[in-house]
Amino acid sequence: MSENKHPLTVAVTGLNAIDSPGPGVAVIRALRDGLPKPLRIIGLSYETLEPGIYMHDVVDKTYQITYPGAGTEALLNRIKYIHDKEKIDVLIPNFDAELYNFMKLAPTLKSMGIATFLPTFEQFDARDKINLYQFGLKYGLSVPADKVIYTVEELYACAELLGYPLVVKGKYYDAVIAYTMEQAQKAFYKLTAKWGYPIIVQQFISGNEINVAVLGDGKGNATSIIPMKKLYITDKGKAWAGITLEDDTLIALAKTFVEATKWKGGCELEIMRTAEGVPYIMEINPRFPAWIYLTAAAGQNQPASLVKMALGDDVPHFTVYEVGKIFIRYSWDHITDVKEFQQISGFGEL
């Protein structure tokens, strides 16, 4: 670990611990478990009601930052302001939509003394929903057939090519399973209104939903791989409970992905394993998942390892983890005061 006169200070986004949670709170929990003290956690928030802002045993201080749409200059100005006060050592962005800006700023942040551990644009684009099918073909990975469309009329060709049900997916988030053309059209309008164009229409694959949390070292090696089967799934398709699995095919699949892309940083492979045992890659998220604390609980603390690698430390590749480790998410009514709400709303800091 690098020596610092001030406490190791890590800035983390994704504090929205709601029913479709951001990964931030889980990332921080893993950091607090796996990094030496003193450790100072700076929360970076977008909305005033992100629960992590008010959890003072989790986050030491929170600053609101600009929305991704405001661009890199506005974001950089805000980060400079925060850095002047807090001297951030490492910054971990946790949302897909904000990654582009942080990747673009990574060299500037580095020159300011803020380390990141993010994929390159090439790596980021390779696993993009829009390119995933071609990526699978190139590396011999099973990926459902798909079609990227820009107009609602193209849905007819998709239905002919892929058959029903169709999986209609938004550019960044959300997916709808459509059993009829009417449902597909409704999903198209809903998802374009929310996330913009294009829409990805994917072949439906049935099976068991498995997610794999992966940490790549940027040189083609997987520092950590933890597969998890969803035991309880919310109506938004999120895992509310899950269990670590022992499965060499999933480990091999994740290794192939990391070797092929030389992935740098955390990511999550969303897998659908068919009754025949074929693991289809449904999606690759370019950041830690919300269930990332399970990796720490199972013996491979991916967020803490990422921070160490960002600081230039050599982190040995994990080889073992605890199989059968279960997480069960729960909700909790956190009580705060209007003064705190006023503080973050009015001043953008708490």
Partner 1 sequence: MHLKKNIATSESGFIFNPSTGDSYSANPIAAEILGLLKEGVPVSTIKAQILERYDVTNAQLEKDWDDFANQLKYANVLEN
Residues of this chain that bind partner 1 (CB under 8 A) = 208, 229, 231, 242-243, 245-247, 323-324
**Under 8 Å CB-to-CB from 304, ≥6 apart: which residues?**
30, 31, 33, 34, 35, 296
The two structure tokens encoding residue 27: 């990332």
Tell me whether residue 84 or residue 246 sits nearer to partner 1 (CB atom). Answer: 246
Pick between residue 145 and residue 231 the one whose CB is nearest to partner 1. Answer: 231
CA nearest 31: which of 13, 49, 58? 58
- Nearest distance from C-beta of residue 271 to partner 1, angstroms: 12
Separation CA 139–CA 251 (nearest Å): 16
CB nearer to partner 1: pick between 72 and 208: 208
Least gap, CB of 240 to partner 1 (angstroms): 14
Residue 231's CB is within 10 A of a number of other CB atoms, namely: 14
Give dist(CA 11, CA 45) in Å, integer: 10
List the end-to-end C-alpha distance of the chain, in Å, as a whole number.
29
Please identify, using beta-carbon distances, which residue of 47 and 246 lies nearer to partner 1: 246
Q: Which residues of 286-300 are buried (b: 16+ CB within 10 A; e: fewer)?
A: bbbbbbbbbbbbbeb
- The distance of closest approach from Cβ of residue 289 to partner 1 in the complex, given in angstroms and rounded to an integer, is 16
Please state, in angstroms and rounded to a whole number, the distance separating the CA atoms of residues 92 and 349.
19
Please identify which residue in the block is written with the tokens 């921080």: 28
User: What secondary structure, in 3-state letters, does 151-166 show?
Assistant: CCCHHHHHHHHHCCCE
CB of 237 to partner 1, least distance (A): 17
Question: What is the smallest separation between the CB atom of 254 and partner 1, expressed in angstroms?
Answer: 15
Task: Please state the φ and ψ torsions of residue 142, each to the nearest 5 degrees.
Answer: -75, 115
C-beta of 179: minimal distance to partner 1 in Å?
Answer: 28
Q: Report the residue number, 79 or 239, with the smaller CB distance to partner 1.
A: 239
Distance, CA of 84 to CA of 93 (rounded, Å): 19
User: 155 vs 243, which CB is nearer to partner 1?
Assistant: 243
Which CB sits closer to partner 1, 316 or 324?
Answer: 324
Q: Least distance from C-beta 251 to partner 1, angstroms? A: 11
Structure tokens at 53: 């802002």
